[in-house]
Amino acid sequence: MAEIVRMPKLSDTMTEGVVAEWHKKVGDNIESGELLAEIETDKATMEFESFQEGVLLHIGVEKGQNAPVDSILAILGEKGEDIQELLKDETAPKEEKESQKEEKLVAKAEPLKETPVESPPIIETSSNSNNSFPPAESISNSGSKASPLAKKLAEERGINLKFVNGTGTDGRIVKRDIDNFQGKSSITGQESFIDESVSPMRKVIAQRLAESKFSAPHFYLTVSINMDNAIESRKAINNAISPSKISFNDFVVKAAAVSLKDYPKVNASWHGDFIRYNNHVHIGVAVAVDEGLLVPVVRFANEKSLTNIGEEIKTFAIKAKDKKLQPEEWEGNTFTISNLGMFGIDEFTAIVNPPDACILAVGGIQQVPIVKNGEIVPGNIMKVTLSCDHRVVDGAVGSAFINSFKNYLENPVLLLGKDSI
């Protein structure tokens, strides 16, 4: 008996999927556990194996098309089996609903009253006009007081002579008036646009962030961090571990992870009837991809070294761009970091990434004058902003956390003493 293979829900946020590739065609025999298709979700492209076996009788979603979760992806059954009734059963409720809706609209519609319409007056034109009128926006310079050359130039340049002041005899428009004219021209640019279908990833980003912004009361805390010591420490570490390298982002992740252990009330999430305080520290690191944003998770980040954190983030970034991230690599974050410093951004605020209670927005390092020991000297300053869900985190708790974070980056030796490099 024919069975329907439905569009699977491959992630907790997936509402629809796009068929990136079919590995079987209609008429092929399918074994249970055999690769059937590749499905692009809101976060990655994943292989989908069949849980049924039989002959592929019908493909419900062609390559490149999208369909909601639980819709017909394919139908498997015995060779030559009639599936029309099965398809009819799936589509009938929708068709009946549309039919009923149309019947109601027809029943409610009132007959149109016939209203006499007066015929417009007939305008006789000469045979030379081809019975047509010039467009409303066309330029007519006939009858203008202008020299033949001026008229010709005006037509070539799209200039309406009624806007040109003549400087010739008796106000006649001459060539120099056209050359000097800088007024209104009938030539206008053409408006255009491109409509692009919203990808599943972009839909989920829009939905989740809109829900967060309008349901979670945000407040923001910004501090300026002197990165002079961090710069020197990074230089020394990279010299010691060459050819490997660590980035400032690795310092940021490590400092945030250690600070979360110091202030666990920030490492929390809102669940309606209760607040969850996490004992483990899983840092979500925002990675930009073509379709939007992915947030792979560095698990137990407080227990990892700077080099381990750096290598893990690099691997995640490559997999994210290739759409090869797996669900276990993007789920379970307890805190999120978004770093736009590498894009030349000084500072910004980010929207809390549910279910986290906070997100840290990191700007770039800027050379600015600072006061040190009573003197104005050049300094390397990085601004960070902590966005907090006020249902979970209060101002005092958020302030304590972000100042702890600042202290670790301004005194990186404290970081290096905590499972270090």
Catalytic residues: 390
SS3 (DSSP) at 201: helix
With contact defined as beta carbons under 8 Å apart, do 5 and 90 qualify?
A: no
What is the per-residue DSSP string for 211-239?
Answer: HHHHHS-EEEEEEEEE-HHHHHHHHHHHH
> What does the block give as tokens for 45?
């492209």
> What does the block give as tokens for 133?
């009128």
> What does the block give as tokens for 113?
């009253």
Buried b (16+ CB within 10 A) or exposed e, 136-155: eeebebeebebbeebbebbe
Using alpha carbons only, give the angle 12, 14, 20 rounded to the nearest 5 degrees. 130
| 190: enclosing H helix or E strand | none
Which segments of 289-372 does DSSP mark as H helices, in order?
306-321, 327-330
With contact defined as beta carbons under 8 Å apart, do 283 and 300 qualify?
A: no
What is the per-residue DSSP string for 95-163?
Answer: HHHHHHHHHHHHHHPPPPPP---PPPPPPP--GGGTT----TT----TT-SB-HHHHHHHHHHTB-GGG
Rounded distance between C-alpha atoms, residue 234 and residue 89, angstroms: 65
Rounded distance between C-alpha atoms, residue 306 and residue 214, angstroms: 36
With contact defined as beta carbons under 8 Å apart, do 275 and 267 qualify?
A: no
**Burial class of residue 274, CB neighbours in 10 A (0-12, 13-18, 19+):** exposed
Rounded distance between C-alpha atoms, residue 384 and residue 197, angstroms: 34
With contact defined as beta carbons under 8 Å apart, do 174 and 147 qualify?
A: yes
With contact defined as beta carbons under 8 Å apart, do 365 and 230 qualify?
A: no
| 26: enclosing H helix or E strand | none
